[in-house]
Structure 1
Amino acid sequence: MDGTQQRRTTASASASASTLRTRANPQQLEAIVATDGPVLIIAGPGSGKTFTLVERIVYLITERGVAPESLLVVTFTDKAARELTTRISNRLTEVGVAFNLNEMYLGTFHSICLRLLEDYQEFTRLKRSFTLFDQFDQQYFLYQHIKEFRGLLDAELVMGEDQKGRWKQSEHLLKWVNKVSEEALDPAVLMAAPEPEVRALAACFTRYQELLAEHNSLDFSGIQYEALQLLEGHPDVLATLREKLTYLMVDEYQDTNTIQERILLLLAGERSNLCVVGDDDQGLYRFRGATIRNILEFPDLFAGGQCKQVRLTVNYRSHPDIIRVYNEWMAAQIWDDGGRAFRFAKQIMPREADFPDMPTAARLAARDEQDGASNWHAEVLTFLNSLKASGQLADWNQVAFLFRSVKNDRVVDLARFLEGQGVPVFSPRSNMFFEREEIRLMIGALIFLFPQFSKIRAWAEGVWLPVWEYYDQLCFKPFTDELRKPENKPLLEWARPLAKRHVVLAQNTDYSFSGLFYQLLQFPLFSRFLTEEAVQGVDKGRAARNLGTFSKLLTKFEYLHYVSVLNPEFLQKNLRDLFNQFLRFLSEGGIGEYEDEAEYAPKGCVSFLTIHQSKGLEFPIVVCGSLEAVPRKQYGDLDILLEDGGYLSKERFEPLEQMKHFDFRRLFYTAFSRAQNLLVLAAQERDGRGLGKSPSKYFERLFYELPSWHDVDLAALTFEAVRQINLKREYSFTSHITVFENCAEQYRFFKELEFAPIRESPMLFGTLVHQTIEDIHKTVLRGEEGTITLEGIKGWFSTNYAMLSKKERVYLAPSSQQAALQHVLRYYERENGHWDRIKEAEVEISLVKDQYILKGSVDLIRGEGDTVEIIDFKSEKKPDMEKDRGRLEQYRHQLEVYAHLVEQRTGQKVSRMHLYYTGEDGGNPYVTFKKDDKVIDRTIARFDDVVERIEHQDYQMAARPTKLCLSCDLRPYCDNKNWIFKKND
């Protein structure tokens, strides 16, 4: 947004913004208008933190004249970022401010740092097309290279002895290489340490970094590590970002780590317009490297009381009795050591309102006989049924059970019991993915298709893996039982000859494991999970989405193990790797099921969540379990060695012996404060000492001082509805609208249910041409066009091809490589000397609309004066204007969407829109379209209609798109589907 437009918008929005801010209480208002210099906002639970953040951003834009793209706003989770984006966009729309989301740095630390690395990639070690690891990818990568680490001197001091096994060693290694990254430790200093453990850590980290570089890869922790290297090593980049990003805001600051603090202070610079928001009482992520000292010591980073502090202590969420409980819980802990305080002193106060004069914190208890948990299960069910019978509970989703872990056997047993009694349970992180019927049947089917499966157990004498029992009894047996049923006869007739073929496979097939997966979907045993009726059920199509996740796991395995087809020479090894390693490690480590970001408490289900998962959420009724818990330390000998040896950037802050107690109090404070109308502490009572006692001594007094839930008049309570987030979804022309219009069923599978396509061949040729042209544009936009040479272009091209082909594992013949290079050189020769017309290149643009966010990526914007022209590159020959009219029409619609986005974002008029065909040899490479506002309005209206159909899950089609069907993974499924076509309007 340019300055004139910004001032005009500010003037019109100011009055409206001021009026809406009257909803703020005095403390919130103080935080909203405190914009310059460092600001610390301590926001207790339910104190309107997100409201305050949103209003502060609106105030900066509307009354301080700050351009939205000058703000950096950091959230803790992707879900929080999406909610904040939606709320900010709604508020700015209310006051008449248009802004480009893509130019506003809003997201998690990792997403923002990744954006910096992509924007300034030429200044980093990363090459184009780098691979980003999630946590499982990272550990599996370490596992695959574990021999290299075992060969390092004293490596066992870091990752344990070989007897622990490669997977356990890779787990230890994962923890320590991430600690070096998150704490921004200096490998050179570690390497020179007198302690062998520290030197071994340095050697492991250094070798790991070398392996990442060799594979052009980046892990989750490394995103921030590389961003810090970028900012510290390139003052020009840092100066550019400081000039652009003038106001910084960080949510959940109590959960930041050392490297994040360093990045923020670098970006804030001398202006120090850094506002951090958080609650030291809810610091939960020490195990991920977070340090509570960041928020507690934040004021001390700035001289002379420069940091303004605001405390938000009025709770708008909870009944006063619930607030009393968690205030007392925190008051029971000593939070200082006589000289230093390890908590900001605060007392949370309820809002002014008429509350029912009755207890709203209660206990739920049952003591079981030695023969089982029946009393406990029965008591929980009685409580839930009483809630229902009270007439005050509108939906099961108003109830959330919170636990330290949802993978605990007692928690899983309770969830199974409730589901058996007709109370659906939503527990996406309970590690039940591999217990689900659809997953067990799919694994069973794959085992059946490879009778040599039994041989993979004989690779070493005496070896027995527990996962084999799971495969035999819970996967293979149920599948073969199903095959005996008459309705599954077609599946048996398909699978039996295929299994026989695989036993004596003599030549390569034209399919892999993922190909067999898509073949299996055609049969009713699996297709029943995929119908639109099944997907729209109470559980949001959990089974269909689990199968989608399984498709992604299979394609990931095939990528990691270079499997494109079944090869007789490697088939047995592939089977061993798939079942004995990949799926085994996933099942042991656990994999989460689908979670709808827009609905954290699905209708019709009681939620079973970890306390960590519940952070930032609120529920009318919270049942807090895990009361047998006791404080436990989260550090080991090497942690102490690093601290005592002075290898960390700061000296130790909290006393080691107190840390586990502090963390314990913070964890359950977070749990208790999620409750709005009723807090229930639940314990399966057991006598004993230490870990055998329930509730443990830490909860005993609090627990037994609370009234039994039987003594609470549930009918006298009012339970609020679960808060709706209503997150706006993002849609683009090519990734969404075109896919949906070409085939709504493909959209349903690959976009909505997130299946992984396998026949989607990488567009290597086109991407290679695009990337190298982008290198030219970036050099021009830096004002360095004089440095561009033919040899330099060939160098960029060669590097791009090396990285792309390595990542995609697809290769071009030398003649195709030469042809792609000619596309680039032709473009350079034609445009050389006219670079002054280029205004922007590879522009990501977004437009916030009432119901969704419209996104697009424009190849090039150029122009003269107040108008601009849009160019979209096509790496092919110019098409026949008559024969290819349909395709050109689709491209024109795409350009019209881009034109709409550009005009809305910049206020500049688009004069012309072009397709540029880099493959055109002799003639004019352009196809030019005039910009017609009325036509564009119709295109956007059509876009709106398609989005509405998607949002309402209307996937009916007039007919199957036969051309697309020929090469579609879903063809077997669709061939057997009972199609009901929508009549043409």
Structure 2
Amino acid sequence: MDDVTAILDHMNAAQREAVSAPQGNMLVLAGAGSGKTRVLVHRIAWLMQAEGLSPYAVLAVTFTNKAAREMRTRLEALLGLSLRHVWVGTFHSIAHRLLRTHWQDARLPQHFQIIDSDDQLRLIKRLLKENTIDDERYPPRQVQSFISGCKEEGLRPHQVNVNGDAYLMQMVDLYERYQLTCERGGLVDFGELLLRSLELLRDNPALLAHYRERFGHVLVDEFQDTNTLQYAWLKLLSGMQTPMTVVGDDDQSIYGWRGARIENIRRFEQEFSETKTVRLEQNYRSTSAILESANALISHNAERMGKELWTDGEQGEPISVYGGFNDLDEARFIVDTIRDKVSEGFKRSEMAILYRSNAQSRVIEETLIRQGVAYRIYGGQRFYERMEIKNALAYLRLLLNRNDDAALERVINVPARGIGTRTVELLRERARLDNTSLWQALHDGLHDGSLKGRAGNAVRVFSDLIERLDDETSMLALHEIIDHVGERSGLIEHHRNEKGEKGQARVENLEELVTAAKAFTQGEALGNAEIGEGMVALEAFLAEAALNAGDHEADEFEDCVQMMTLHSAKGLEFPVVFITGVEEGLFPHKMSLEEPGRLEEERRLCYVGLTRAMQKLYLTHAEVRRLHGKETFPRPSRFVRELPEQHLEEVRMRGQVSRPLSVSRPQPSWRQQGVEAAGDLPSLSLGQRVSHPVFGEGVILDAEGEGERARVHVSFEGEGAKWLVLGFAKLTPL
């Protein structure tokens, strides 16, 4: 590039200021859609071209390999040079590079191996077994989380303060045994990469001095997501002397649950001398209505560094708020609106459905499938393909058919009950020789004594569990069968012990399976056909689940709707966005009300969701939601009330009527459709309380049809929800 000033072409004033700032410490507060990647890339180019910095003297740190590749590609295109030797990469890849180069100083074998999360978990399970430690009291995933958490805080086993706590002492002992096993085998996990590289530099002053002299400038992307160890690593490497450019947004810090420290972005300004702060506030993504709403929402968070997004683009449409009667109605509205948008000329891939909890996807997925709308789950799995759901379904399949070998193999040791791969292999071999099922081979082995000792006892416990589950569920309704199996098999407790967001999400998904069963027997899953109950219903439900788990997801390059959690949506943008389940207890999540700082993080997550939308944003909620196996009557989220009234419109009757939404008064029942009187039949409306001669008092949740053939969906106290034909129901309005 001949003209250095060309680097600043087509940039706004704040971007030019950030790119061309003289060497020194700089914090770039980059709002959503403000072109931060462009600024980072052009900043590196400026340092090389205008400041004369060698490509070998640049260190640029990102959080994902994708971001690192994009940065390198754009930089090479901008400069017209091959930059293979520039240090651009993730924290882990740069730490790995240091350890490979200086393996002896790091006290590692030359050909050490990196283990991923699954390998790490298997190693921990083996340690628990070898040391006869109860994996119910010390669940492997919890031990894994403890070890990773310690490493993220920069703590070795001897540095963890146990304060005489016996449980913590055992966890530290496991950490120590795990560390010894890794060192003996030349194994390095992801947390170890960064901790070991920090120790490498800290304990080798000459090496540290070499890298401090080599790197003339350090640049860090997504600085708000750094954890304690990453921040300490950067401080050590820079020596607080090497100039640093860090780019981040405190309003988009949404990973506190996995170790990110939002305070790092504030500490940088305070701890690094003469830090220049530049704010990128001009947004190139969203309409003014969306940005002003996002600004109003995030202003409710305290201790922000301060930033106001704006655009010189159009005002745009107001944000549409839809309140469904229930989650089914919410899903129908979303899918109907998507079909309308497609008819207007939008591509399906230009639309995204975002949700706070993975469990919410199930109802929406089923509605998309029924209406033939192609979709993909971004960064996750479809509901019926999630590991915990497949495990629960395998238990249910065994209740119907003990000879289902695939189901038996899947859950014979889930949760862990001491049945190892060797025992399963013996069962397979016997089944093959005798031409029988694994279940029969299992019983034959117990009968003739070939399965004995601890393995034999564990197999007998599993066999007894399946028989007992069969007995205990023989007279139960479908949703009760699934609820009972989830609890008594230990699956719920197993995932509850995982702690953290992942374990919580798995518990919520298992509870949602109970909800799916309720909807199924009430006919809502199959066009209101009557299903029946008990084992007959279970067989039909398993068949429907298998069909829903079939190849409904769109191919990678097919034009399809994108579905994802709000956390997965960070960094993405779509012309049309639906944020679903905007209700108290769901979003903000009920867990956020119990921990300090979590509510503000939920609000930042909502801010991230709002700013994904480019042209049109929909917020949806339900007056009645069946989630986690329970029926609730949630209030609309406080986040809706925190948005400016002038930028909201209420959508009613599946989009047929809209009017300004008032948030200054209690929320009304947003849909007034009901069943009109006909002959001697009463006139009923949704949300109305009614009385039934057999089922008692209840609330009308939904209604369809006309006259005597009209059906109403009523939630009865103590009896659950039932569909009733109005001509026969003998309902009395209260």
After TM superposition, the score normalised by the length of structure 1 is 0.49
Contact kept? 1:327, 1:347, Cα under 8 Å: yes
Residue in structure 1 matching 2:368, options 418, 427, 436: 418
Q: Is the 1:149–1:204 contact (alpha carbons within 8 Å) kept by the matching residues of 2?
A: no
Separation in 1 of the partners of 2:590 and 2:105? 40
Match of 1:525 in 2: none
Question: Structure 1 residues 203, 248: CA separation in 2 closer, same or farther (over 3 Å shift)?
Answer: same
In the alignment, the residues of structure 1 paired with residue 179 and residue 106 of structure 2 have an alpha-carbon distance, to the nearest angstrom, of 13
Deviation track 1:795-830 (CA, whole Å, cap 9, x = no partner) reads xxxxxxxxxxxxxxxxxxxxxxxxxxxxxxxxxxxx
* Cα root mean square deviation, aligned: 4.4
Q: How does 1:498-517 map to 2 (within 5 A)?
A: 503-504=432-433
Aligned partners of 2:204, 2:340: CA distance in 1, in Å? Answer: 64
Residue equivalent to 2:385: 435
Corresponding residue for residue 649 of structure 2: 707
Correspondence for 2:297: 329
Shift in Å, 1:434: 6.8
Q: Deviations over 1:657-680 (max 9, x none)?
A: 531111111111111111111111
Q: 2:617 matched to 1:679?
A: yes
1:384 pairs with one of 314, 338, 343: 338
Q: CA deviation at 1:317?
A: 0.9
User: CA separation in 2, counterparts of 1:127 and 1:419?
Assistant: 52
The residue aligned with 2:96 is 114
Q: Output the CA distance in 2 between the equivalents of 1:429 and 1:44.
A: 24
Contiguous gaps of at least 5 residues in structure 2 = 418-427, 436-450, 464-488, 507-553, 657-734
Residues 267 and 458 from structure 1, CA distance in 2 versus in 1: closer, same or farther, beyond 3 angstroms?
closer
**CA separation of 1:398/1:458 partners in 2, compared to 1, >3 Å: closer, same or farther?**
closer
Distance 1:374 1:630 in 2: 18
Counterpart in 2 of 1:366? 324
| Partners of 1:459 and 1:299 in 2: CA distance | 52
Counterparts of 1:281 and 1:600, CA distance in 2: 34
1:99 aligns with 2:99: no
- The 2-side partners of 1:202 and 1:282 are apart by 34
Contact 1:412–1:430 under 8 Å retained in 2: no
Counterpart position of 2:118 = 136
Does 2:282 align with 1:314? yes
Q: Compute the displacement of 1:455 (Å).
A: 12
Secondary structure class of the residue paired with 1:317: coil
Corresponding residue for residue 670 of structure 1: 608
Change (3 A) 1:365 1:344: same
Once the two structures are superposed, residues 535-590 of structure 1 have per-residue CA deviations (whole angstroms, 9 ceiling, x without a partner) of xxxxxxxxxxxxxxxxxxxxxxxxxxxxxxxxx99xx99xx9xx999x99999998
**Does the 8 Å CA contact 1:630/1:691 hold for their aligned counterparts?**
no
SS at match of 1:423: coil
- The residue number in structure 2 matching 1:218 is 188
Once residues 201 and 594 of structure 2 are traced to their aligned partners in structure 1, the CA distance between those partners, rounded to angstroms, is 33
> Is 1:616–2:586 an aligned residue pair?
no
For residue 243 of structure 1, report the CA deviation from its aligned partner: 2.0
Q: Which runs of 5+ in 1 are unaligned?
A: 1-12, 152-160, 336-341, 469-498, 507-567, 591-598, 636-654, 715-985
Distance, in Å, in 1 between the alignment partners of 2:2 and 2:232 is: 35
Query: Aligned to 2:615, what secondary structure does the other structure show?
Result: strand
Structural mapping, 1:687-726, within 5 Å: 692-702=632-642, 705=645, 706-709=648-651
1:401 paired with 2:353, answer yes
Q: Which residue of 2 aligns with 1:343?
A: 304
2:581·2:587 contact (CA, 8 Å) conserved in 1?
Answer: no
Partner of 2:256: 286
Q: Distance in 1 between matches of 2:248 and 2:644?
A: 32
3-state SS of the aligned residue for 2:604?
helix
Distance 2:415 2:623 in 1: 32
The letter for the 2-side match of 1:268 is: S
For 2:55, which of 65, 68, 73 is the aligned residue?
68
Between the aligned partners of 2:67 and 2:653, the Cα distance in structure 1 is: 38
What is aligned with 1:268? 238
Change (3 A) 1:603 1:189: same
Of residues 57, 69, 92, the one that matches 2:44 is 57
| Contact 2:621–2:636 under 8 Å retained in 1 | no
Q: Are the equivalent residues in 1 in contact too, given 2:352–2:576 (CA < 8 A)?
A: yes
- Superposed CA offset, 1:180-235 (max 9, x none): 10011253332674554554443232222112112221112121111111111111
Q: Secondary structure at the match of 1:686?
A: strand
User: Following superposition of structure 1 onto structure 2, how do residues 235-250 of structure 1 map, counting pairs within 5 Å?
Assistant: 235-250=205-220
The aligned amino acid for 1:361 is: I
Out of 590, 593, 597, the residue aligned to residue 659 of structure 1 is 597
Matching residue of 1:981: none
| 8 Å contact kept, 1:110–1:223 | yes
Per the normalisation by structure 2, the TM-score is 0.64
CA distance in 2 between partners of 1:386 and 1:456 (Å):
42
Instruction: Report if aligned partners of 1:41, 1:277 keep a CA contact under 8 Å in 2.
Output: yes
Contact 2:330 2:620 in 1 (8 A): no
For 2:556 and 2:610, the matched residues in 1 are separated by: 18
Instruction: Give the corresponding residue for 1:943.
Output: none
Shift of the alpha carbon at 1:383?
0.8
CA distance in 1, matches of 2:612, 2:35: 14
Q: Which has the higher helix share?
A: 1
Letter matched to residue 678 of structure 1: K
Amino acid at match of 1:504: L
The 1:90/1:360 distance shift into structure 2, 3 A limit, reads farther
- 1:22 paired with 2:21, answer no
Q: CA deviation at 1:248?
A: 0.5
- For residues 457 and 362 of structure 1, do their structure 2 counterparts lie closer, same or farther at Cα, with a shift above 3 Å needed? closer
CA distance in 1, matches of 2:175, 2:27: 35
Q: 1:129 to 1:417 in 2, by over 3 A?
A: farther
Q: For residues 381-435 of structure 1, what are the alpha-carbon distances to aligned partners after superposition, in whole Å with 9 as ceiling and x for unaligned?
A: 22112212223x1x10000111123x30x31221132033121111044433973
**Are residues 199 and 255 of structure 1, via their aligned partners in 2, closer, same or farther at CA, if it must alter by over 3 Å?**
same
Relative to structure 1, the CA distance from residue 386 to residue 701 in structure 2 (aligned partners, 3 Å threshold; closer, same or farther) is same
Inter-partner Cα distance in structure 2 for 1:55 and 1:332: 34
Write the letter of the residue equivalent to 2:62: T
Distance 1:228 1:49 in 2: 28
- Equivalent residue number for residue 512 of structure 1: none
Q: Tell me the amino acid that sits aligned with residue 300 of structure 1.
A: Q
Q: Is the 8 A contact 2:19 2:43 kept in 1?
A: yes
Amino acid of the residue matched to residue 381 of structure 2? Answer: N
Change (3 A) 1:456 1:614: closer
Give yes or no for the alignment of 1:375 onto 2:329.
yes
**Deviation digits for residues 289-329 of structure 1 (CA, Å, limit 9, x no counterpart):** 110010012111134xx111111111111100000111111
Rounded Cα–Cα distance in structure 1 between residues aligned with 2:248 and 2:121: 31
Alpha-carbon offset, residue 131 of structure 1 = 2.6
Q: Quick one: distance in 2 between partners of 1:331 and 1:404?
A: 21
Q: Deviations over 1:335-367 (max 9, x none)?
A: 0xxxxxx310222122x23x15x5342113321
In the aligned structure 1, how far is the partner of 2:636 from the partner of 2:217?
46
Closer/same/farther in 2, CA of residues 657 and 204 from structure 1, 3 Å limit: same
Cα offset, 1:136, TM superposition: 2.2
Judged with a 3 Å threshold, the aligned counterparts in structure 2 of structure 1 residues 242 and 150 are, in CA distance, closer, same or farther, namely farther
Between Structure 1 and Structure 2, how many residues are aligned?
531
Instruction: Say whether the 8 Å CA contact 1:426–1:602 is kept in structure 2.
Output: no
